[in-house]
Structure 1
Amino acid sequence: MGDQRRDETTEQAGETPTVRMMVLETDEPHHETQSRRGTFGSILHKHFTDAGAAHDPPLGIETDRRFVVTEKGGTMPKLEDFESCHALLITGSVYDAHGDVPWILELLELLKKLWIHHPDMHFSGVCFGHQLLCRMLGATIRPSPTGDWELGHSKVSLHPVGKKLFRTDDDAVYLHQMHQDHVVAPPTPETAGGLLRPGEKVEVWGYSEHTAVQGVYIRGRMFTTQAHLAFDEGMVKRQIEMRVESGSLEDGELADQAKETGALETDGDLVAGAILSFFHGEDEGIE
């Protein structure tokens, strides 16, 4: 699982601009999902490939995938492995982003080095990845104060910057959620330990009843999402079942209700398109 793996879109060289993305896989899907759709990195590659095809003009996507959970056979990449990457994306995980297990601490140190040594790289993260990037910049991550989960199909209300990022006049997007932990407040230049410039803007693009920080945006640097953009019905049900079986999700009624929302339509394509445009450097005019 620690080996480098690469996915590439089918394109004619020299005709389609290509975004080169490194996906750090911080978990493995349910074995049935993996046999059907591949790893989390493969699933995201397919999602971004579709977003690239819908982009005007079309964009290609080249994805290197690294499984980084070293205690499960993964390998942490080195700084030089990112030399040709435009963008980095960190997947969701059953692990706690506020945890201090060795591989998470090692990943945090790698992210800090990348942030410093690759100032042109664009960073994104989903769920765990969103929380870990915020932690890197000094934000506090902890479980919901009431211990409840945000689960299944959910409404994410948009702040003005979110509407600009998603190029929509709608007041909300709808995405699948799978978390109990949350980012308490967005990072700031004061919390970031020198990783952000004084006065650098950190904006929250969306919120829900459960979670005030549904995603963070820093122009030209970071665009994260607490919700999952590529989950389908099967993944929603299996990921919930995995958490019930592990004992981390004890509310059986909530779990059953959330599984029933798995088939509802989401705005995952819209979010993938917005993040891909960000990766391609198209957010310069967004304030």
Structure 2
Amino acid sequence: MEKHEHEVSGEDGQLPVVRMMVLETDEPHHETQSRRGTFGEILHHHFADAGRAHDPPLGIETDRRFVVTENGGTMPKVSDFQDCHALLITGSMYDAHGDNPWILELLDLLKKLWVQHPKMLFSGVCFGHQLLCRLLGSEISKSPSGEWELGHSVINLNDVGKRLFRTSDDKIHLHQMHQDHVVEAPTPSSSNGLLSPETKVEVWGWSEHTQVQGIYIQNRVFTTQAHLAFDQGMVLKQIEMRVEIGSIEDKDHADEAAETADLEHDGDLVAAAILRFFHGEDASIE
């Protein structure tokens, strides 16, 4: 499934445009999809808002591919990325440490893109964050406690995070929806040659549940474990889906998380930061 969307604004419609390929690794709840579209469409509109708020404004263009082949998706070929310099991988109910054929195929594609397109920029949300860290040699596993990080959550920022998000605050708030986590950030030695020995891998934030809330590699990778584009309805439906299939067994925890679904979060701040990364404005955060 291939979809393409272009959005610019301004009096003359001639804004600089950030183009990205969005790999959709799951489908939203059908009610969410009828209301807001696919995960790729939701992210497109979220980044379009960030583009309009950027100074000066930026247009956003997304090429979206649903890649879960076992559910009717199609895995792109390396040649499909010839004119692509920015790639974003969505969240998913699948395990990023899983061996589903489509996940292994996606990892193989990402490895080829990493090697053959050394200037391509990579971003990922939740599953996408974990999968990119797996690509670079990190272990992905369930949290030691077995608990989920759900709903409106506090993420502590270090100095790297503050610079990336251009804030003086020590914390941001985002919606979480995961049990798995990245055990440790990737390193050059873990990357099987994908990272040069001098590469600096930065972790930009942490929470009590998850020590690696996102990684940043200059001119290469910027990920987030938390979701930047979830709204109240999406949080409620995503929790409901996981309870129904038995992924979330602690219903009290689920109910408590659902009660936070309407709280304001910093998704706009995160979208603006990833957009700057894709636009080449954060070539260095030193």
TM over 0.5: yes
1:121 shift after superposition: 1.0
SS state at 1:168 partner = coil
Distance (whole Å) between structure 2 residues aligned to residue 61 and residue 238 of structure 1: 28
- Matched residue type, 2:204: W
3-state DSSP of counterpart to 1:88: strand
Say which SS state the counterpart of residue 224 (structure 1) adopts: strand
Counterpart in 2 of 1:30? 29
2:230 aligned partner, one-letter code: F
**2:263 paired with 1:264:** yes
Between 11-20 and 196-205, report the one with greater CA deviation. Answer: 11-20
Q: Which residue of 4, 7, 21 maps to 1:9? A: 7
Q: Which residue of 2 aligns with 1:174?
A: 173
Task: Supply the distance in 2 between the matched residues of 1:275 and 1:247 (Cα, whole angstroms).
Answer: 33
- Kept in 2, the 8 Å contact 1:19–1:86? The answer is no
The residue identity in structure 1 corresponding to 2:279 is H
Match of 1:247 in 2: 246
Instruction: Say whether residues 1:85 and 2:84 are aligned partners.
Output: yes
C-alpha distance in 1, partners of 2:253/2:137?
32
Provide the secondary structure at the position in 2 that maps to 1:266: coil
Q: CA deviation at 1:285?
A: 3.0
Contact in 2 for aligned 1:223/1:275 (Cα 8 Å): yes
TM superposition score normalised by structure 2: 0.98
Alpha-carbon distance between aligned partners in 1 of 2:8 and 2:190, rounded to the nearest angstrom: 42
Structure 2 unaligned regions, length at least 5: none
Report the alpha carbon displacement of residue 14 of structure 1 after superposing the two structures with TM: 7.4
Misfit runs of 4+, over 2 Å: 10-15
Q: What is the distance in 1 between the residues matched to 2:87 and 2:284?
A: 22
For structure 1, which runs of at least 5 residues remain unmatched after alignment?
A: none
Partner residue in 2 for 1:46: 45
Say whether the 8 Å CA contact 1:141–1:183 is kept in structure 2: yes
**Aligned residue number for residue 71 of structure 2:** 72
Quote the Cα distance in structure 2 between the aligned partners of 1:10 and 1:142: 40
Using the alignment, how far apart are the partners of 2:205 and 2:194 within structure 1?
Answer: 23
Deviations 1:98-125 (A, max 9, x none): 0001000000000001111111111000
Q: Secondary structure at the match of 1:263?
A: coil
Q: Contact 2:27 / 2:39 at 8 angstroms: preserved in 1?
A: yes
1:179-194 pair list within 5 angstroms: 179-194=178-193
CA distance in 1, matches of 2:284, 2:214: 19
The answer to whether the 8 A contact 1:150-1:177 is kept is yes
User: SS state of the match for residue 29, structure 1?
Assistant: coil
What residue number does 1:197 align with?
Answer: 196
RMSD: 1.0
Tell me if structure 2 keeps the 8 A contact 1:20–1:84. no
Aligned counterparts of 1:224 and 1:17: Cα–Cα separation in 2: 24
Task: State the secondary structure of the residue aligned to 2:152.
Answer: strand
Question: How many angstroms apart in 2 are the aligned matches of 1:199 and 1:154?
Answer: 34
1:24-70 CA distance string (max 9 Å, x none): 00000000000000000000000000000011111111001100000
Paired amino acid for 2:209: H
Alpha-carbon distance between aligned partners in 1 of 2:172 and 2:162, rounded to the nearest angstrom: 10
Percent of matched pairs sharing the same residue: 72
Aligned to 1:218: 217
CA contact (8 A) 2:201 2:216 kept: yes
Distance in 1 of aligned mates of 2:8 and 2:86 = 19
> Which stretch has the larger CA shift, 186-195 or 8-17?
8-17
- Which amino acid is the alignment partner of residue 259 of structure 1? A
TM-score (norm 1): 0.98
Aligned to 1:94: 93
1:248 shift after superposition: 0.5
Partner SS state of residue 113, structure 1: helix
Aligned length: 285
Residue type of the partner of 2:190?
T
User: 1:211 and 1:272 mapped to 2: Cα distance?
Assistant: 21
State how far apart, in whole Å, the 2-side matches of 1:62 and 1:121 are. 16
